[in-house]
Chains A and B, each alone.
Chain A
Amino acid sequence: MSDAPPVETRGLVKRYGDIVAVDHVDLSVEAGDVFGYLGPNGAGKTTSLRIMLGLIRPSSGSARLFGRDPLIDGAKALDGVAGFVEAPRFYPYLSGRRNLKLLADYDEPASRTRIDEVLELVGLRDRAKDRVGGYSHGMRQRLGIAAALLRAPRLLLLDEPTTGLDPAGMRDMRELVRRLAGEGITILLSSHLLHEVEELCNRVAIIRRGAIVYQGQLRELLNRAVTTYRLQALEPDRARSLLLAESGVGDLRLNGGALRFSADEDAVARVTVALGQARIAFTALIPETTSLEELFLGMTDGESSDHDRPSAVAV
């Protein structure tokens, strides 16, 4: 069982009438990952998390946590798993501590002994006696993390944990996520904020209209993101021949007088020297996709990244 990956979904589909909320999603989260589940609002992130947590039944496909399917194994599938979908919710008429006591009794084994520890960790110890009804959104969010940590999870599923928080709250929450990841907890974190994922995650999946459009290492995605260049040369055909011969240059396309190619920084530096030596004048050499943001927009909106955007730096 311990060999099974923390999260593995295969062909996950959820339909609501004609609407396909989740469309054949295959996610694989490995042990130790801080996995970013990225997509615009309404793309199907929360619905897939609900399926993983056994809250809703998929129309087809399977979701397994450490090899266990909540549809088959029921609550046992959540052994070693904790988290929340949308904003964490509690009984408003009970205090923060009473809420945690309640949830500890719904755990197996009962997790009461950890209550003080987790309250301390999320910085709610001083307010633990107050009714949750009087908590701010940020405090509830932190109580949500505390409630998840009560279960001493090996896998945390967090649905947009920083949404609705003020800048300080966001910073604290990210700090906490980093810390938990540092303790060896595998984390699947959904977000519509790129920089958040960029800051926290090692692997990502990008979901658009219920379907995964990218899944892999964040580093690879970033490489992909910064290495598409547009070259505006006075003699595009000669430039093209030169680029074709240059090592480290790929995906070469010529359209409308502009050359597009992908390359890493070293290769681009060599290209500029080679163009000069071959006396090929050029007016612009621009990194087309300057950030993950653009790549993300391109993947989620279809056409956005193809637009010519003025870039900050012209090489």
Chain B
Amino acid sequence: MTAVARVYRWEITKPLAQKRTYLGLGTAIAVPIIFVVVLVLHSGGPNDVPLGRYIRDTGLAVPFVVLFFMSIWGLPLITALVAGDIVASETHNGTLKTILTRSRERGAVFAGKTLATATYTLALVLAMGLVGLAAGSIAWGFHPLTSLSGTKVSAGHGLLLLVASLAVYALPLAGIAAFGVLLSTVTRNSAASVVGALMWALLMQLLGVLPGTESIRPYLLGTQFEAWHGFLRTPVDYAPVTRALWLCALYIGLPLIAAYLVFLRRDVAGD
């Protein structure tokens, strides 16, 4: 375990030395702020999205609305930006041979990289959610939230629901990250992996809106971005949350297992 922890420490440091990481984190922070500023300056709002009507009632509603908009391609893009680069950047720098000729097993290196990607993904969601909450609360106060069922939820309880929602929201995003890690391992090309992971996310969204896909819709990755709606119903509807949990376990696990096997066996020549 200490081996993975040591590797993880540096696998966090490496993305932190790269501009794309700050581009991603900066976007996650800037978007909710811009969103709130625009809504403060102008009347009207996103009335046709979940909780959109209540956005000026409480800062608690802001992160939910922002997450909804960002789930379409914003967050998948900035997630893929780092996930798709996590192995490919080593190829680009020619450093895979440098770290694989030390004492760490390939499995530990892969685990460190995967954990670093997961950390970044979680950081994006948390940053966006918490900055949205802060910006919204400054603009409109920290008041009780109206749930999707129309009932009032106290601000304190609303905060708990927000944290739970962010956690569930991070799962499908991690699924996109896992796919990015797989592409990054297989293609060894950063741009191809970023675009590929984004296309994967968009394909899942597209399938969800095409006619005739109703039967598979609940199982698509994109649909899981709405699983948090269950938390905002009274009483809480755990069905979409449970489905998101096991489905995302597959969407995360399968690409990671494939990537792990490729990483363990691949020839490191020219990278």
Footprint of B on A, CB under 8 Å? Answer: 47, 50, 53-57, 74-76, 78-79, 82-94, 102-103, 105-108, 110, 147, 151
B10 on the A face (CB < 8 A): yes
Which residues of chain B in 1-28 are interfacial with respect to chain A, using CB atoms and an 8 Å cutoff?
Answer: 3, 6-7, 9-10, 13-14, 17-18
Contact of B93 among A50, A74, A91, A151 (CB under 8 A): A91
Contact of A106 among B94, B102, B267 (CB under 8 A): B102
**Which residues on the A side are within 8 Å of B269 (C-beta)?**
47, 50, 55-56
Contact A55 B101 (CB under 8 A): yes
- Max chain B CB contacts within 10 Å: which of A47, A55, A106? A106
- Max chain A CB contacts within 10 Å: which of B6, B10, B102? B102
B104 on the A face (CB < 8 A): yes
27 contacts between A and B (CB under 8 A): A50-B267, A50-B268, A50-B269, A55-B101, A56-B268, A57-B265, A57-B267, A74-B105, A75-B103, A75-B104, A76-B103, A78-B101, A78-B102, A82-B101, A86-B94, A87-B94, A89-B95, A89-B98, A90-B98, A91-B14, A92-B93, A94-B17, A102-B99, A103-B99, A106-B7, A106-B109, A107-B103
Contact B101 A102 (CB under 8 A): no
Contact B6 A89 (CB under 8 A): no
**In whole angstroms, how far apart are the Cα atoms of A82 and B103 in the complex?**
10
Which residues of chain B in 88-135 are interfacial with respect to chain A, using CB atoms and an 8 Å cutoff?
Answer: 93-95, 97-106, 109
| Interface footprint category on B | 20 to 34
**In whole angstroms, how far apart are the Cα atoms of A54 and B18 in the complex?**
29
Footprint of A on B, CB under 8 Å? Answer: 3, 6-7, 9-10, 13-14, 17-18, 93-95, 97-106, 109, 265, 267-269
Extra 16 A-B pairs, beta carbons < 8 Å, given A50-B97, A57-B265, A108-B3: A50-B269, A53-B97, A54-B100, A56-B268, A75-B103, A75-B104, A78-B103, A83-B101, A85-B97, A87-B94, A90-B93, A91-B93, A91-B95, A106-B102, A106-B109, A108-B104
**In whole angstroms, how far apart are the Cα atoms of A108 and B10 in the complex?**
15
**In whole angstroms, how far apart are the Cα atoms of A50 and B269 in the complex?**
8
Residue in chain A with minimal CB distance to B3? A108
**Which residues on the B side are within 8 Å of A92 (C-beta)?**
93
**Which residues on the B side are within 8 Å of A93 (C-beta)?**
17-18
- Max chain A CB contacts within 10 Å: which of B7, B14, B98, B109? B98
**Which residues on the A side are within 8 Å of B13 (C-beta)?**
102
Contact B97 A84 (CB under 8 A): yes
Please give the distance in Å from B92's CB to the nearest CB on chain A: 10
Please give the distance in Å from B84's CB to the nearest CB on chain A: 18
Contact B95 A90 (CB under 8 A): yes
**Which residues on the B side are within 8 Å of A79 (C-beta)?**
103
Contact B99 A75 (CB under 8 A): no
**Which residues on the A side are within 8 Å of B100 (C-beta)?**
54-55, 75
Residue in chain B with minimal CB distance to A56? B267
Contact A55 B268 (CB under 8 A): yes
Identify the 4 closest CB pairs spanning chains A and B, nearest first.
A89-B94, A108-B103, A106-B102, A56-B267
Please give the distance in Å from B32's CB to the nearest CB on chain A: 29
**Which residues on the B side are within 8 Å of A57 (C-beta)?**
265, 267
Q: A55-B269, A91-B93 are in contact. Are A75 and B98 (CB under 8 A)?
A: no
**In whole angstroms, how far apart are the Cα atoms of A252 and B93 in the complex?**
56
**Which residues on the B side are within 8 Å of A103 (C-beta)?**
98-99, 102
**Which residues on the B side are within 8 Å of A47 (C-beta)?**
269
Contact B17 A110 (CB under 8 A): no
**Which residues on the A side are within 8 Å of B105 (C-beta)?**
74-75
**In whole angstroms, how far apart are the Cα atoms of A78 and B109 in the complex?**
16
Please give the distance in Å from B144's CB to the nearest CB on chain A: 47
**In whole angstroms, how far apart are the Cα atoms of A55 and B102 in the complex?**
11
- Max chain B CB contacts within 10 Å: which of A79, A88, A105? A105
Residue in chain B with minimal CB distance to A79? B103
**Which residues on the A side are within 8 Å of B10 (C-beta)?**
102, 105-106
Q: A93-B18, A94-B17 are in contact. Are A110 and B102 (CB under 8 A)?
A: no
Contact B98 A88 (CB under 8 A): yes
Please give the distance in Å from B138's CB to the nearest CB on chain A: 36
Residue in chain B with minimal CB distance to A74? B105
Please give the distance in Å from B87's CB to the nearest CB on chain A: 14
**Which residues on the A side are within 8 Å of B9 (C-beta)?**
105
Residue in chain A with minimal CB distance to B267? A56
Contact of B6 among A50, A91, A110, A151 (CB under 8 A): A110
Please give the distance in Å from B185's CB to the nearest CB on chain A: 15
Please give the distance in Å from B104's CB to the nearest CB on chain A: 5
**Which residues on the A side are within 8 Å of B268 (C-beta)?**
50, 55-56
**Which residues on the A side are within 8 Å of B99 (C-beta)?**
102-103, 106
Contact A91 B17 (CB under 8 A): yes
Contact B102 A107 (CB under 8 A): yes
Contact A147 B104 (CB under 8 A): no
**In whole angstroms, how far apart are the Cα atoms of A84 and B6 in the complex?**
22
Please give the distance in Å from B128's CB to the nearest CB on chain A: 26
Contact A75 B102 (CB under 8 A): yes
Residue in chain A with minimal CB distance to B16? A93
**In whole angstroms, how far apart are the Cα atoms of A223 and B97 in the complex?**
39
Please give the distance in Å from B107's CB to the nearest CB on chain A: 8
Please give the distance in Å from B219's CB to the nearest CB on chain A: 38
**In whole angstroms, how far apart are the Cα atoms of A102 and B10 in the complex?**
7
